[in-house]
Amino acid sequence: MEIRRIAGALGAEILGVDLSRDFPEEEIRKAFLEHQVIFFREQRLEPAQFMAFARRMGEPIEYPFVKGIEDFPQLIEVKKLEHERSNFGGIWHSDTTYLAEPPMGSMLLARELPPYGGDTLFASQYLAYDALSDGMRRLLERLIAVNSSSKADVTRTREDRVKERGGRSQELIAEHPVVRTHPETGRKALYVNIAHTARFKDMSEEESAPLLEFLFQHQVRPEFTCRFQWRAGSLAFWDNRCTQHNPVNDYHGHRRVMHRITLAGERPR
């Protein structure tokens, strides 16, 4: 097994591993914690094989608002068709921070890709926190963020899909610390995001807006990021506790189909 970093901030490719067979689980877990997001190439995994890998890394869970594929409720299809203009989750975010126990991590496996575009950006929230002044860190460590599933366009799109299928939409709200401590590494990370964080606890949205706007821009500065170019069979596994991601929507007129599994997490502290 070879580990090859893809950027200075975060991200590494894992080479020489076939996830459909036996693989060095502890080495992969160590690389995941160190690099925050890891990538594999040429992984032609059937749904059962994909689920088997996910179960060795964590506990797969169902995704809010989106129904899983047949026989695999924890595996969802992330699809953009040729005539569609909006992509799934097309904004910087940490996954489902509107849940009381947001996911530990997520996995995405490329099935069908456009001839160009469709890359995914990732941002290290360790580096975003580390780059703040001492005074700003002291201020943020006292604050609690209120996160809502209906805050941003990306989440309203998910709710609209439920309505189109005859389902009922539901707003999910959770409060989490603005600065969370990673339960495995002990490092501190910023834990707000533009897709879901609406305001600070005990403050109005108007009062919260100036500081949140600063944080939303700060936490995705280019020097905190990496960019992954997908190929069929590529698999990404990111740590939702210390990263954000943003799928680039630059392939209109083309089809993109991915399979995704979300892994259970814990209440942020």
**So which residues are the catalytic ones?**
93, 95, 245, 260
CA distances to 92, 213, 221, 246 from 217, rounded to whole Å, are: 10, 6, 7, 13
CA distance 91 to 247: 7
In terms of DSSP bridges, do strands 225-228 and 120-124 run parallel, antiparallel, or are they unpaired? Answer: antiparallel
CA distance 127 to 188: 9
Asked if 31 and 14 touch (Cβ cutoff 8 Å), the reply is yes
Residue the block writes with tokens 């299928």: 165
CA distance 254 to 117: 10
| DSSP annotation of 165 | T
How many other C-beta atoms can be found within 10 angstroms of the C-beta atom of residue 242?
A: 28
| Beta carbons within 8 Å of 26's beta carbon, 6+ residues apart | none
In terms of DSSP bridges, do strands 2-5 and 12-15 run parallel, antiparallel, or are they unpaired? Answer: antiparallel
In terms of DSSP bridges, do strands 37-40 and 12-15 run parallel, antiparallel, or are they unpaired? Answer: parallel
